[in-house]
Amino acid sequence: MSTATTLRIDFVSDVSCPWCAVGLGALEQALARVAPDIRAELHFQPFELNPDMPAEGQDSIEHLTEKYGISEDQVRANGEHLRQRGATVGFDFDLARRKRVWNTFDAHRLLHWAQMMGLEKQYALKKALFKAYFSDGLNPSDHDLLVRLAGEAGLDTARAREILAGDEFAAETRERERMYTGAGIHSVPAIIFNSEHLVSGGQPVEVFERALRQIAGMAPRTTAEA
């Protein structure tokens, strides 16, 4: 028998947030470094970078130049920096394929339901959504895509389509979003450990590893099979 510490991690993020994909990759590598002494119970929480984005979306270059007041050249330079950072944590950005920015609310509704079906299924769906958008350039508001990804994550596709056809989990998702913005979270990723300790941004692996070790040192340990 050995002792291990299990930490609850709430990963507040958006499907269309590139630094969230980087942050998740870095957190995954950090968790691999501290295993098996420290384990994670990972919950993905909703945050919309562009809650007012219309259904038709917006050209990604146009969106970024308008939102941040930067030039197209700066957008492309930032994209190359993201690509390099993603590569260090095993994530493949192909931003040339990401032509548009889309509304992500339905993706968050589906992730809310996926969490109810099991954390491992929510995790698989979240990873699939990041890949679909940032690596494959697909539209994360497209219901056919969302249903397909749900099926690949081990979820019931008929149930997924039923949820997307109506407004199930809309109120719950909005309430969860308000809870985090009300707590002062206005940029993502925001990674909350044991509902107390916050790490913001797509930090390097070493930052997450240090946080995991420090917070695990404060938490009670549980007995687990060696």
C-alpha 156 chain-centroid distance: 21
pLDDT for residue 222: 53
* φ, ψ at 67 (rounded to 5°): -70, -40
Residue 174 makes CB contacts below 8 A (sequence gap 6+) with none
Q: What percent of the chain has pLDDT over 70?
A: 96
* Half-sphere exposure for 44 (CA within 13 Å, toward CB): 31
Q: What is the mean pLDDT of the chain?
A: 95
* CA 60 to each of CA 70, 97, 141: distance values in angstroms, whole numbers, following the listed order: 13, 10, 15
**Token pair of 137, please?**
């350039």
**11-50 residue pLDDT tens:** 999 999 999 999 999 999 999 999 999 999 999 999 999 9
pLDDT for residue 1: 44
Higher pLDDT residue, 32 or 223?
A: 32
Binning pLDDT at 50, 70 and 90, where does residue 4 land? confident
Sorted by where each starts, the structural domains of the chain and their CATH numbers stand as 2-53+103-224 (3.40.30.10)
**156-186 residue pLDDT tens:** 999 999 999 999 999 999 999 999 999 999 9
d(CA 186, CA 191): 12
d(CA 95, CA 136): 9
**Token pair of 164, please?**
């997307």
Residue 194 makes CB contacts below 8 A (sequence gap 6+) with 7, 8, 215, 219
pLDDT beyond 70 at 221: no
**Token pair of 50, please?**
């562009």
* CA 170 to each of CA 1, 164, 175: distance values in angstroms, whole numbers, following the listed order: 44, 10, 9
Binning pLDDT at 50, 70 and 90, where does residue 3 land? confident
**110-145 residue pLDDT tens:** 999 999 999 999 999 999 999 999 999 999 999 999
Average pLDDT estimate for 150-154: 98
d(CA 168, CA 139): 21
Strands 2-13 and 38-46: parallel
pLDDT beyond 60 at 224: no
